[in-house]
Amino acid sequence: MAKIIGAVTTSHVPAIGGAIARKVEHEPYWKPFFDGFVAVREWLAEVRPDVVVVFYNDHGLNFFLDKMPTFAVGAAPEYRNADEGWGIPTVPPFTGDPALSWHVIEQLVGEDFDLTTCQEMKVDHAFTLPMALLWPDQKWPVRCVPVCINTVQFPLPSAARCYRLGEAVGRAIESFPSDARVVVLGTGGLSHQLDGQRAGFINKDFDLQFMESLVHDPKWATQYSIPELVEKTGTQGVELVMWLAARGALGATARKVHANYHIPISNTAAGLMVLEPVV
């Protein structure tokens, strides 16, 4: 059966794409952020995944406000990036894994999750930039399965439900007849608010407690409703549900391999973790 060998969770600020394009990773503003990824690349070189299952939220590139699925899973042979208007270069296309996608879709629907299945799907900065941070040469050595969770238009799925979605994705991967080595990637957060009176809001105490909870008490954040998470982490801070889904996929116990936290990158608290399942 396919095997989950670890999870990477990271923020996905568009300005990262600008920094990569301008080659300013070593400048003082960016260095503490990009330096965090060196250990992740070393870990990837060791664990050598074949597939990455990516939990992320689309911000209007593939889904707009007129049609907004709560959960959408890609089942395409290829996923392309396109201009979102941030002025950052697009990245090369990603190879899909339709057989694993359909297996995950069948298992999730079998567990009563209602999904939108996407045989065509554009992937935005929330997918492409974390991939570019993991593989800076952008010659993606993995097949991809995108799992998109709505954090853009209310109502949003609860943190508890996103965790359960992750658990179900984990079970689906581990029941897929293949010897594929799978990394789950969760992108979004941590605390940030881009608009309104609290624009620029960051909550370091909450973020650090959240990161710690993923190791020893992974369901800790699921005690909070979406409005409570907005209050604690900002309107876009709710993207941290992607971290919960990725953590859920790892199973009950996990160990921390690596972590980094730096504020701010653009308006966002930039967090990064690598976790491995303990079996």
Active site (catalytic) residues: 125, 192
In terms of CB distance, is 168 or 202 closer to ligand DHB?
Answer: 202
Q: Which of 267, 271, 272, 277 binds ligand DHB (CB under 6 A)?
A: 267
**Which ranges of 13-97 does DSSP label H, i.e. alpha helix?**
15-22, 31-34, 38-47
Question: Judged by CB under 6 A, does residue 262 bind ligand DHB?
Answer: no
Query: Which part of the chain contacts ligand DHB (CB under 6 A), choosing from 7-15, 95-103, 215-223, 254-262?
Result: 7-15
Comparing CB distances to ligand DHB, the nearer of 12 and 262 is 12
Among 6, 14, 166, 170, binds ligand DHB (CB under 6 A): 14
| 12 is a contact residue toward ligand DHB (CB under 6 A) | yes
Show contacts with ligand DHB in window 175-204 (CB under 6 A): 192, 194
Tell which residue, 251, 180, 181, has the closest CA to residue 214.
Answer: 251
Residue 253: left (phi > 0), alpha (psi -120 to 50), or beta? Answer: beta
Is the alpha carbon torsion for 229, 232, 237, 243 positive or negative?
A: negative
How many residues touch ligand DHB under the rule CB under 6 A: the total is: 12
- Looking only at residues 156 through 175 of this chain, which bind ligand DHB when binding is defined by CB under 6 A? none
Rounded Cα distance between 13 and 34, Å, is 12
Which of 5, 13, 165, 169 lies at the binding interface for ligand DHB (CB under 6 A)?
A: 13
249 near ligand DHB, judged by CB under 6 A: no
CA distances from 25 to 12, 193, 265 (A): 15, 24, 12
Q: Do the Cβ atoms of 167 and 248 come closer than 8 Å?
A: yes
33-238-28 Cα angle (round to 5): 15
**Judged by CB under 6 A, which stretch of 72-80, 220-228, 248-256, 262-270 contacts ligand DHB?**
262-270
**Count of CA atoms in the C-beta half-sphere (13 A) of 214:** 33
In the complex, the residues that contact ligand DHB under the rule CB under 6 A are 12-15, 59, 192, 194, 236, 239, 266-268
